[in-house]
Amino acid sequence: MAAAGALIAGTSAMARAGANPEPPKAPAASEAATWDQAASIRAAAERIGRVHRARGATAAYELIENCYKTHSLASTYGEGFESCIAQDYLETRTLILVYSRMPPEALKQSGVPSPQQLADSMGHRISTAFTHYKKSQAYADEVKRLVDVHGQPVFLALVFPEAAEAIENKKAKEKK
């Protein structure tokens, strides 16, 4: 099962979504979370954002790796494991956007992965995560939507506060 298509490469999935007017399918009722997913995702975004801001991307990925190691031991899919997925998506998607603005030679010289390598690696981790617990593509799509709506603003406000403030100011001006 490849239930992570919407999460795998955030930017290409968004481009496909814009080209396809078909509304996303809702997850089956049997897959409904028993926790407040929006609140959990905001909390996960805050944790990873604080780590990234204080200690950088390497420390953030160490937190994500340890999160997966710990929560993948559970016999059922739960809030903690979903937090790992949300943090992975937020951190990796941000690095993809940052690294995509750098020339390939600069990335190579710095010893950092290309945006495609980051997307492929995240895609594998997240696909494996959802497959492990037999989650549907509809469920994965809904998690992505929730992370985009509830997690991304929290993460960006912590990691890039100046940019987040500029975005909010622009939105406020557009509403007027």
Most confident of 25-34, 65-74, 104-113, 164-173: 65-74
8 A C-beta contact, residue 59 and residue 52:
yes
Share of the chain above pLDDT 70, in %: 86
Decide which of 119 and 112 is more confident. Answer: 119
**pLDDT at position 24 over 80:** no
Q: What is the pTM of this model?
A: 0.81
Residue 90's closest CA among 131, 136, 44, 124?
44
